[in-house]
Amino acid sequence: MPELQRLRADHAPALLTFERENRAFFAVSISDRGDDYFADFAARHEALLAAQAAGTDHFHLLMAKDGEVLGRFNLMDVADGAADLGFRLAERATGRGLATSAVRDLFTLCTTTYELTTLRASAAVANAPSRAVLTRTGFVPTGEEVLLSGKRGLAYVRALPT
């Protein structure tokens, strides 16, 4: 069974492989990270770890037993008991309920470790799988339309138990 792990320095090689192998798949429903992301990956990874250490963000990887990254589940812009959830799943891991399960596992961390009471999320209108994960895990649309790298999207919110 895959395990949700807090991002660490030693995850860098597997995470870079995940991003490279799934780049075209991700670009279908979310904006491509661009070549600079891959060229500057080491510095970017260090910046993520620094933000995590500062408590402004919490990054998690869904890891297979063999050390392969199956997904990313990020809590960003943490402030006043709230954070923004973002996630992406490897193409080969889709359709098995892994994203739904990982988001639910993240709820436990949100309340027991990070002391969060509210999560916000956004998904492109064209990204039906992400919108389905949000709905299955109790997020509700706010009615606000957002632009996600030029793509029309919807905003969601979920209160967490206190």
Residue showing tokens 């933000």: 51
Residue showing tokens 């709905």: 135
Structural domain span for residue 48: 3-159
Residue 161's Cβ-count burial label (10 Å; 0-12, 13-18, 19+) is exposed
> What is the domain count for the chain?
1
Q: How far apart are CA 71 and CA 98, in angstroms?
A: 9
pLDDT digits (tens, 9 = 90+) for 64-97: 999 999 999 999 999 999 999 999 999 999 999 9
What CATH code is carried by the domain that includes residue 39?
3.40.630.30
Flag whether pLDDT at 32 surpasses 80.
no
Q: Give me the sign of the Cα torsion angle 130, 135, 138, 144.
A: positive
pLDDT digits (tens, 9 = 90+) for 13-22: 999 999 999 9
**Rounded to 10 degrees, what is the CA torsion of 31, 124, 152, 28?**
40
- DSSP-derived secondary structure letter, 105: H
